[in-house]
Chain A
Amino acid sequence: MIFDLHGFGPALLAGALMTIKLALCALSLGLVLGLLGALAKTSPYKPLQWLGGSYSTLVRGVPELLWVLLIYFGTVNLMRSIGEALGQPDLALNAFAAGTIALGLCFGAYATEVFRGAILAIPKGHREAGQALGLSVPRIFWRLILPQMWRIALPGLGNLFMILMKDTALVSVIGLEEIMRRAQIAVTASKEPFTFFLVAAFIYLGLTIFAMIGMHFLEKRASRGFVRSAS
Chain B
Amino acid sequence: MNWEIIVKYLPKLLEGAWLTLELVAIAVLAGLILALPMGIARASRHWYVRALPYGYIFFFRGTPLLVQLFLVYYGVAQFDVVRQGPLWPYLRDPYWCAILTMTLHTAAYIAEILRGAIQAVPPGEIEAARALGMSRAQAMFYIILPRAARIGLPAYSNEVILMLKASALASTVTLLELTGMSRTIIARTYLPVEIFFAAGIFYLVIAYVMVRAFKLLERRLRVDACQGR
Contact across chains for B203 and A63 when beta carbons are under 8 A apart: yes
B199 contacts which of A66, A166, A191 (Cβ < 8 Å)?
A66
Chain B residues, Cβ within 8 Å of A63: 164-168, 179, 203
* In the bound complex, CA of A61 to CA of B162 (Å): 9
State whether A73 and B192 are in contact (beta carbons under 8 Å apart), knowing that A64-B165, A205-B63, A209-B62 are contacts in the complex: yes
Interface centre among B59, B64, B165, B183 (most CB of A within 10 A): B64
Chain A residues, Cβ within 8 Å of B182: 66
Contact across chains for A170 and B66 when beta carbons are under 8 A apart: yes
Q: Tell me whether B146 is interfacial, beta carbon within 8 Å.
A: no
Interface size class for chain B? 35 or more
Q: Tell me whether B74 is interfacial, beta carbon within 8 Å.
A: yes
Chain B residues, Cβ within 8 Å of A58: 204
A204 contacts which of B62, B76, B200 (Cβ < 8 Å)?
B62
Contact across chains for A74 and B196 when beta carbons are under 8 A apart: yes
Contact across chains for A193 and B62 when beta carbons are under 8 A apart: no
Which of A44-52, A84-92, A136-144, A194-202 makes up part of the contact surface?
A: A194-202
Chain A residues, Cβ within 8 Å of B79: 194
> A72 → chain B, closest Cβ, in Å?
9
> B56 → chain A, closest Cβ, in Å?
13
> B202 → chain A, closest Cβ, in Å?
9
* Partner-B contacts on A (CB < 8 A): 58, 61-66, 69-70, 73-74, 76-77, 166-170, 172-173, 180, 183-184, 187, 191-195, 197-198, 200-201, 204-205, 208-209
